[in-house]
Amino acid sequence: MTADLFLQILVSGLLIGLIYALVAVGLTLIFGVMDIVNFAHGEFLMLGMYASFWGFALFGIDPILSMPVTAALLFGVGVLVYQVIIRRIINAPMLSQIFATFGLMILFRGLAQFFWKPDHRLVTHTLVGGNVTLGSIQFGLPQLTAAVGAVGVTAGLWYFLHRTRLGTALEATAIDREAATLMGINGQSMFALAWGIGAACAGIGGALIATFFPIFPEVGSNFILIAFVVVVLGGFGSIVGAFWAGIIVGVIEVVGGFVVGPEYKTAIVLSLLLLVLLVRPKGLMGKA
Amino acid sequence: MTTIHLPKTVGALALLGFALLLPLVIQDPARQNFLILILMGAQLGVAWNIIGGYAGQVSLGHAVFYGIGAYTSTMLSLKLGLSPWLGMLAGGVVASAFSVAMGWPCFRLKGHYFAMATIAVAEIVQVLVTNSETLEGAVGLSLPMGNTGVAAMVFSTSKLPYYYIILGLLVVTVLASWAIERSHIGYYFRAIKDEPEAARALGVSLTRYKLVAIAVSSFFTAMGGSFYAQKEMFIDPGSVLATGVSIKIALIAILGGVGTLLGPVLGAGILITIEEYSRVLFGSTGSGTDMIIYALMIILVAVYSPAGVMGLLHELRRRIPSLRAKAEVRA
């Protein structure tokens, strides 16, 4: 393998890995705050992609420009999902929690299929289209934009959680709900906020991914399992962990796909999930 | 617990008699096929319930056992000409061995983590089978049409033999489940589920009994997979190994009532009926309507009735006497 090829593979892995990190940060935030695994997270991403697509198809607005609207819409969806369903199952058995978000996943897919047909749709041209050539390696500008976006979102989220009053309250709820309540933090609104922010992150992810990936009702399934791997590897609830884990998973996927064959990519990544669960269940940066 | 409850035995026999006579009354092949689908779902739900309900280990990867059953009996029949009756047992044994190998490390994981690991295992196996030349990959395996009869477990003229075979398999699975529920293993399961720490302190080996549970559960799930292969005469990774299959199996048990003997049977009746009718009412798949109904049902059960329909019935039975008493007071 030549050095150029090696570098090309590494860069591809890094770019895709940052996109996985972007999908995973929202998931890990929700889990960290309330110990619920959101199986419908891929569908938040899907909704973000459709919001971008319709903004483009109906009004000719670029997904990158409509991103704030997409994020706001998804924030609303996240809060709504929390208020209507999740709020009622906080203390329910784990089985109910799993199936409630699983049901949501199927519900969103069904609704998308019903209203928008199962067809694959594409954002045909975007501000960030085209390829970038750096010496001997080449990559897509949309992927690069998405990767930069991922870094931005993770940094922004980190700043919010550690440097703002509201963010610290959220973080406090994640660490110890009882103690946070005693300090006068309203647990319920923190949970709703976590769902809103988590969904908004997925929405931003959707907007960025929509610039280079086909959009269809089941598109979330391409990302959700990998997002789980990233969350587990990074440590449930750790934003920074998810960031690094995303990169690791992306690189392993691309390198593994190159060595073993691209059709085994998913199997390689899922084997990594099993390995991490069994050897180090708390992940790279998990707390406990 | 050694006394046999007479009313319950009579009830069970009456139910069995009803099931035996039903297809003689309902002779339309399409409707008989519908009954077969319910029995297939019920059998899988009862099997899942042994590990997911009694032992409380939520598996979302049961498709892997189902697929092992379907592929084992089909390959043995295609390559060695082995009768599917034996192939079914072989599939069960292979699946049990696989489940123990999988469970041994995975049972250390709790709750969500275990569920996630089971999804991962099933997905990995699906990828491997899809890319396996020996197993014909994504193309799938077909059983030859010519060879019909009891020995080959293929029937072309009537649905009835399939009905009675799956009914028999369901009865055996329920009996196995019942035997476990009544035995000391059943008590250990409940102890593991409700008070894991206390059970451990009393010297109950958690892992050993979980392994027994998953071995039995996967054995019967695999037999269901072999039956599916015989009925459809065609299998591929999408139909027997997909995550959707795992979800459906778990959902049947959850809908009916987790950890109850006949809850999964009830769950299958409800789920399959809704599935088939929404397909008839709203057209074929693709419109998304069947998914929406299915999803709303899952969410409603998850939010409002974690104990499933059986839980609702118990609640109703508990309330009726008190309602009656109230009515009498008023009168």
The CATH class given to the A14-117+139-279 domain equals mainly alpha
Displacement of CA B135 from its chain's centroid (Å):
25
Determine the distance in angstroms separating the CA of A22 from the nearest CA of chain B, rounded to an integer: 20
B130 touches chain A (CB under 8 A): yes
Q: Which residue, chain included where needed, has tokens 């660490």? A: A175
Q: Where are the alpha helices (DSSP H) in chain B?
A: 6-25, 29-49, 63-80, 84-106, 111-130, 160-182, 184-194, 196-201, 206-232, 237-240, 243-256, 263-282, 289-304, 308-330
Q: How many CA atoms lie within 13 A of A143 on its CB side?
A: 16
pLDDT at B120: 93
Q: Which residues of chain A neighbour B254 with C-beta distances below 8 Å?
A: 95, 99
The model's confidence at residue A285, banded by pLDDT at 50, 70 and 90, is low
**End-to-end Cα separation, chain B, in angstroms:** 41
B274 touches chain A (CB under 8 A): no
Is A286 or B11 the better-scoring residue by pLDDT? B11
pLDDT tens digits, A241-251: 999 999 999 99
pLDDT at residue B66 is higher than 50: yes
Mean pLDDT computed over A205-212: 94
Nearest to A100 among B116, B290, B303 (CB): B303
pLDDT at B290: 78
The model's confidence at residue B327, banded by pLDDT at 50, 70 and 90, is low
Rg of the Cα trace of chain B?
21
Nearest to B303 among A85, A118, A232 (CB): A85
B60 touches chain A (CB under 8 A): yes
Q: What percent of chain A lies above the pLDDT cut of 70?
A: 98
Q: Which residues of chain B neighbour A111 with C-beta distances below 8 Å?
A: 288, 292
Domain map of chain A by residue range? 14-117+139-279
Interface test with B, best of A270, A273, A279 (most B CBs within 10 A): A270
pLDDT at residue B284 is higher than 80: no
Q: How far apart are CA A253 and CA B94, in angstroms?
A: 31
pLDDT at A68: 96
In chain A, how long is the greatest CA-to-CA distance?
Answer: 60
pLDDT at B6: 67
Looking at every residue in chain B, the average pLDDT score rounds to: 87
pLDDT at B207: 81
Other Cβ atoms less than 10 A from the Cβ of B214: the count is 30
Size of interface A-B (CB pairs under 8 A): 126
Between CA A261 and CA A266, with CA A264 as vertex, the angle to 5 degrees is 140
pLDDT at B109: 84
pLDDT tens digits, B231-240: 999 999 999 9
| Residue A136 amino acid letter | S
- Among residues B236, B206, B224, B244, the alpha carbon closest in space to that of B114 is found at B206
- CA distances (Å), origin A287, targets A174, A175, A241, A283: 11, 10, 10, 9
Own/partner pairs, A182-190, CB within 8 angstroms, 24+ separation: A188/A87, A190/A33
Q: Which of A113-127, B276-290, B306-320 has the largest mean confidence?
A: A113-127
3-state secondary structure of A132: strand
Cα nearest neighbour of B254 on chain A? A95
Looking at every residue in chain A, the average pLDDT score rounds to: 90
The model's confidence at residue A193, banded by pLDDT at 50, 70 and 90, is very high
pLDDT at residue B123 is higher than 80: yes
Q: Which residues of chain B neighbour A98 with C-beta distances below 8 Å?
A: 58, 60, 112, 115
pLDDT tens digits, B29-48: 889 999 999 999 999 999 99
Q: What percent of chain B lies above the pLDDT cut of 70?
A: 93
Spell out the residues 6+ positions from residue A243 whose beta carbon is closer than 8 angstroms to its own: A21, A25, A150, A154, A234
Contact A85 B299 (CB under 8 A): yes
Q: Which residue, chain included where needed, has tokens 């199927």? A: A106
Residue B149 is given by DSSP the state B
pLDDT at A145: 93
Mean pLDDT computed over A125-143: 85
Cα nearest neighbour of A98 on chain B? B112
Spell out the residues 6+ positions from residue A75 whose beta carbon is closer than 8 angstroms to its own: A196, A197, A199, A200, A203
A283 touches chain B (CB under 8 A): no
Q: How far apart are CA B43 and CA B65, in angstroms?
A: 14
pLDDT at B1: 45
pLDDT at residue A95 is higher than 90: no
Q: Which residues of chain B neighbour A43 with C-beta distances below 8 Å?
A: none
Cα nearest neighbour of A272 on chain B? B120
Contact A271 B251 (CB under 8 A): no
Nearest to B291 among A89, A106, A274 (CB): A106
Pairing verdict, β B234-235 and A137-140: unpaired
Q: Which residue, chain included where needed, has tokens 């669960």? A: A277
pLDDT tens digits, B237-282: 999 999 889 989 998 998 888 888 889 999 999 889 888 887 777 6
Assembly ipTM: 0.86
pLDDT at A288: 44
pLDDT at A74: 97
Mean pLDDT computed over B117-126: 94
Q: Which residue, chain included where needed, has tokens 């420009």? A: A65
